[in-house]
Amino acid sequence: MGEVEVPADAYYGASTQRAVLNFPISGQPFPRRFIRALGLVKKAAAQTNSELGLLSKRRASAIARAAQEVIDGKLDDQFPIDIYQTGSGTSTNTNANEVIANRATEILGGKRGSKLVHPNDHVNLCQSSNDVIPTAIQVSSAIAIADELIPALQQLGKALESKSKEFWPVIKTGRTHLQDATPIRLGQEFKGYAGQVEESIRRARAALDELASVPLGGTAVGTGLNSHPRFARLACARLAKATGIPIHETRNHFHAQATLDVLVAAHGGLRTIAVSLWKIGSDIRLMGTGPVAGLGELRLPETQPGSSIMPGKVNPVIVESLTMVVARVLGNDLTVTMCGQSGSLFELNVMMPVAGVAGLESIALLAASARNFRERCIEGLQATERGPELVERSPMLATALNPVIGYDEAAKIAKESIRTGKSIRQLAGARGVSEAVLKKVLDLGKMTKPGLEGPGGGG
User: Of the residues 383, 404, 435, which one is the last residue of a structural domain?
Assistant: 383
pTM above 0.85, yes or no: yes
> What CA–CA distance (Å, rounded) separates 66 from 167?
55
Q: How confident is the model at residue 314 (pLDDT cuts 50, 70, 90)?
A: confident
Assess whether pLDDT exceeds 50 at residue 457.
no
Q: Is residue 84 part of a domain?
A: yes
- pLDDT, tens digit (0-9, with 9 covering 90-100), for 209-268: 999 999 999 999 999 999 999 999 999 999 999 999 999 999 999 999 999 999 999 999
User: Of the residues 327, 355, 383, which one is the last residue of a structural domain?
Assistant: 383
Q: Domain holding 329: CATH number?
A: 1.20.200.10
* Same domain, residue pair 40 and 165: no
Summarize the confidence of residues 66-77 as an average pLDDT: 98
> What percentage of the chain exceeds 70 in pLDDT?
98
> What CA–CA distance (Å, rounded) separates 366 from 329?
8
* Same domain, residue pair 111 and 70: yes
- pLDDT, tens digit (0-9, with 9 covering 90-100), for 145-159: 999 999 999 999 999
Reduced to 3 DSSP states, what percent helix, strand and coil does the chain have, rounded to the nearest 5?
Answer: 60, 5, 30
What's the number of domains the chain is made of?
3
Q: Is residue 458 part of a domain?
A: no
Asked whether 369 and 317 are in contact (CB, 8 A), the reply is: no
Q: Has 200 been annotated as catalytic?
A: no
Summarize the confidence of residues 46-54 as an average pLDDT: 98
* Same domain, residue pair 181 and 305: yes
* Same domain, residue pair 33 and 136: no
- pLDDT, tens digit (0-9, with 9 covering 90-100), for 262-285: 999 999 999 999 999 999 999 999
Selected catalytic residue, list 177, 344, 369, 434: 177
- pLDDT, tens digit (0-9, with 9 covering 90-100), for 86-140: 999 999 999 999 999 999 999 999 999 999 999 999 999 999 999 999 999 999 9
Asked whether 401 and 456 are in contact (CB, 8 A), the reply is: no
* Same domain, residue pair 162 and 248: yes
* Same domain, residue pair 229 and 340: yes
HSE-up of residue 101 (Cα within 13 Å, Cβ side):
21
Q: Is residue 1 part of a domain?
A: no
The per-residue pLDDT for 250 is 98
Q: Has 267 been annotated as catalytic?
A: no
The pairing of strands 298-299 and 248-249 is unpaired
Q: What residues make up the domain containing 405? A: 394-448
Using CA atoms in the order 21, 25, 31, 35, what is the torsion angle rounded to 10 degrees?
Answer: -30
User: Of the residues 383, 403, 422, which one is the last residue of a structural domain?
Assistant: 383
Q: Is residue 453 part of a domain?
A: no
Q: Is residue 86 part of a domain?
A: yes
The per-residue pLDDT for 456 is 44
* Same domain, residue pair 222 and 364: yes
Q: How confident is the model at residue 459 (pLDDT cuts 50, 70, 90)?
A: low
Assess whether pLDDT exceeds 80 at residue 458.
no
- pLDDT, tens digit (0-9, with 9 covering 90-100), for 167-179: 999 999 999 999 9
The per-residue pLDDT for 453 is 56
Q: Is residue 2 part of a domain?
A: no
* Same domain, residue pair 326 and 339: yes
Q: Domain holding 428: CATH number?
A: 1.10.40.30
Q: How confident is the model at residue 306 (pLDDT cuts 50, 70, 90)?
A: confident
Q: Is residue 388 part of a domain?
A: no
Assess whether pLDDT exceeds 90 at residue 450.
no
* Same domain, residue pair 64 and 178: no
* Same domain, residue pair 264 and 164: yes
Q: How confident is the model at residue 305 (pLDDT cuts 50, 70, 90)?
A: confident
Selected catalytic residue, list 307, 342, 369, 417: 307
- pLDDT, tens digit (0-9, with 9 covering 90-100), for 349-359: 999 999 999 99
Cα–Cα distances (Å) from 187 to 65, 167, 169, 348, in that order, read: 54, 4, 7, 51
| DSSP E strands, 140-229 | 171-176, 179-185, 213-214
Q: Is residue 415 part of a domain?
A: yes
Among 40-44, 72-76, 184-188, 291-295, name the one with the lowest average pLDDT: 291-295
* Same domain, residue pair 99 and 164: no
Residue 294: CB atoms within 10 Å: 13
Dihedral class, residue 304 (left if φ above 0, else alpha if ψ from -120 to 50, else beta): beta
Average pLDDT, the chain: 95
* Same domain, residue pair 51 and 74: yes
Dmax over Cα atoms in the chain, in whole Å? 101
The per-residue pLDDT for 334 is 98
Summarize the confidence of residues 415-436 as an average pLDDT: 91
The per-residue pLDDT for 187 is 98
Among 74-88, 302-316, 401-415, name the one with the lowest average pLDDT: 302-316
Q: How confident is the model at residue 452 (pLDDT cuts 50, 70, 90)?
A: low
Q: Domain holding 81: CATH number?
A: 1.10.275.10
Summarize the confidence of residues 369-377 as an average pLDDT: 98
> What CA–CA distance (Å, rounded) separates 212 from 215?
10
